[in-house]
Copies of this chain bind each other. A is one copy, B any other.
Amino acid sequence: MTKQQLFEQILKKQSFLCVGLDTDIKMIPEHLLDTEDPIYEFNKAIIDATTPYCVAYKPNLAFYESEGVNGWMAFEKTVAYIRQRYPDQFIIADAKRGDIGNTSEMYARTFFDEVKVNAVTVAPYMGKDSVKPFLIYPERWVILLALTSNKGALDFQLTEDRNGERLFEKVLRVSQQWATAEQMMYVVGATQGKLFEDVRKIVPEHFLLVPGVGAQGGSLEEVCRYGMNKSCGLLVNSSRGIIYADSTEDFAYTAGQEARKLQQEMKEMLEKFGVSQILN
């Protein structure tokens, strides 16, 4: 999917919501546990209920891997289900991979050739040759960690170099030489508030994947005030706040309602910050 196509979806749905599929077998409603593949059944119901209100899904690989072979199967089936039923959805494998060239090549092959997601999250620590192998696939995306939503972001990401450039700023700056805004996005946590301004000074055009609204405490309005650009430029993720909003048999309906609430807020933000006007 191209940047323009993603933007068109955002305008069409008046939403820049990404639903995080952090599906934990321990959190799945009891009545699904007797089915053949509870994780997949849960995901299907969540996806059917939330798809009108979101433009992206983000399965978090850790949750699938923890179930071993069955988990991997559920992950692959989930991606195939979205791809077939809702081909306009942008699918992100949240994997935080990154390794030496020949190994990153294998990861890229897995996620882009085999499973066929649109984007993979990648860690920047190992530099250019650990990221490049993901970029040879046209219209597929790398979403590079820049400034994450967790407390540990303070440990290294804000370290200033001799010229006062912080590590996340260096990551943003240097990685722009590896790919354009047509293939690269950045992870910037919703908890980072005003730092979005500093991010936007370096990457005004790029899409940002923003986790941390909801369970982690980030504010949607603040993210939009400091992070939105003319093409929206944001994919805001919510996982637990949507998929675990209700543990009864009505879980999917409730998830849909939670997604709808966020979509309504996002619609307001698009209007408030002038993005929806492009439609007119």
Contacts and interface: CB of A to CB of B under 8 A. Distances in A.
Nearest to A130: B152
B145 A66 contact: no
Nearest to A174: B155
Copies of the chain in the assembly: 2
A50 interface: no
Interface string A153-174: 1111101111000010011001
B123 A152 contact: no
Interface stretch (A68-76, A246-254, A258-266): A68-76
A128 B100 CA distance: 23
Nearest to A62: B106
Contacts of A109: 66
Interface in A124-172: 124-131, 145, 148-157, 159-162, 167, 170-171
A216 B106 CA distance: 17
Interface stretch (A10-18, A91-99, A217-225, A226-234): A91-99
Interface in A58-92: 60, 62-63, 65-66, 68-69, 72-73, 76
A101 interface: yes
A152 B170 contact: no
